[in-house]
Chains A and B, each alone.
Chain A
Amino acid sequence: MVTLQLKGLGARYGSTLAVEGVSTPVFSGGELTAVIGPNAAGKSTLFKRIAGLLKGPGEVVLEGNKAAPRDAIRYMPQDTHANAVLTVYESVLLAAKQGEGWRVKDAELVEIDQILKALQIDGLAFRNLGELSGGQRQLVSIAQALVRRPEVLMMDEPTSALDLYRQVEVLNFMRDLARRQGTLVLIALHDLNHALRFCKNTMVIAGGRLMAAGPSEDVITSSMLRDIYRVEARVEACSRGENHVIIDRSAA
Chain B
Amino acid sequence: MAVSELIPAEEGRGLYRALAFRRILVICGLIVALVFSFSFDLALGPARYPLSEVLAALINPSGADLQTRVVLWDIRMPIALMAISVGACLSLAGAQMQTILANPLASPFTLGISAAASFGAALGLVAGVAIFPAAVHYMVPLNAFLMAMAASLFIYLMSTVRGVTVQTIVLLGIALVFTFNALLSLLEYLASEQALAAVVFWTMGSLTKATWGKVFATFAILIVCIPFFARHSWALTALRLGDVKAASFGVNIKSLRLKTLLGVSLLAAIPVSFVGTIGFVGLVGPHIARMLVGEDQRFFLPAAILCGALMLSATSVVSKIILPGAILPIGVITALVGVPFFFVLIFADRRQSW
Q: Are A123 and B249 in contact (CB under 8 A)?
A: no
Q: Are A98 and B234 in contact (CB under 8 A)?
A: yes
Q: How many residues of A contact B (CB 8 A)?
A: 55
Instruction: Give the nearest-CB partner of A47 in chain B.
Output: B248
A85 interface contact, C-beta 8 A: yes
CA distance A123 to B4 in the complex (A): 7
A87 interface contact, C-beta 8 A: yes
**B19 contact set on A, CB distance < 8 A:** 87, 89, 126
Q: Are B3 and A124 in contact (CB under 8 A)?
A: yes
CA distance A169 to B235 in the complex (A): 31
Q: Are B237 and A86 in contact (CB under 8 A)?
A: yes
CA distance A148 to B130 in the complex (A): 55
Of B9, B234, B235, B296, which contacts A122 at CB under 8 A?
Answer: B9
The B150-201 residues at the A interface (CB cut-off 8 A) are: 162-163
- A73-92: contact bitstring with B at CB < 8 Å (1 yes, 0 no)? 01111001111111101110
Chain A nearest CB, measured from B294 CB (Å) = 5
B137 interface contact, C-beta 8 A: no
CA distance A245 to B298 in the complex (A): 50
Q: How many residues of B contact A (CB 8 A)?
A: 44
Of B230, B245, B353, which contacts A77 at CB under 8 A?
Answer: B245
**A82 contact set on B, CB distance < 8 A:** 240-242, 245
A130 interface contact, C-beta 8 A: yes
- A53-89: contact bitstring with B at CB < 8 Å (1 yes, 0 no)? 1000000000000000011001111001111111101
Given known contacts A14-B163, A86-B296, A122-B9, A74 and B248 CB-to-CB distance under 8 angstroms: yes
CA distance A98 to B237 in the complex (A): 10
A35 interface contact, C-beta 8 A: no
A220 interface contact, C-beta 8 A: no
Instruction: Give the nearest-CB partner of A115 in chain B.
Output: B9
- In the complex, which of the residues B1, B162, B230 has the most CB atoms of chain A within 10 Å of its own CB atom? B1
CA distance A98 to B248 in the complex (A): 11
**A97 contact set on B, CB distance < 8 A:** 234
Q: Are B7 and A125 in contact (CB under 8 A)?
A: yes
Q: Are B248 and A122 in contact (CB under 8 A)?
A: no
Chain A nearest CB, measured from B164 CB (Å) = 12
A-B contact pairs, 17 of them (CB 8 A): A71-B250, A76-B248, A84-B241, A86-B240, A93-B16, A94-B237, A95-B238, A95-B249, A98-B235, A117-B9, A120-B3, A121-B1, A122-B8, A126-B7, A126-B15, A130-B351, A141-B245
Q: A82-B240, A123-B5, A148-B249 are in contact. List 9 more A-B contacts (CB 8 A).
A: A75-B248, A76-B248, A85-B294, A86-B237, A87-B294, A93-B16, A94-B296, A123-B3, A128-B352
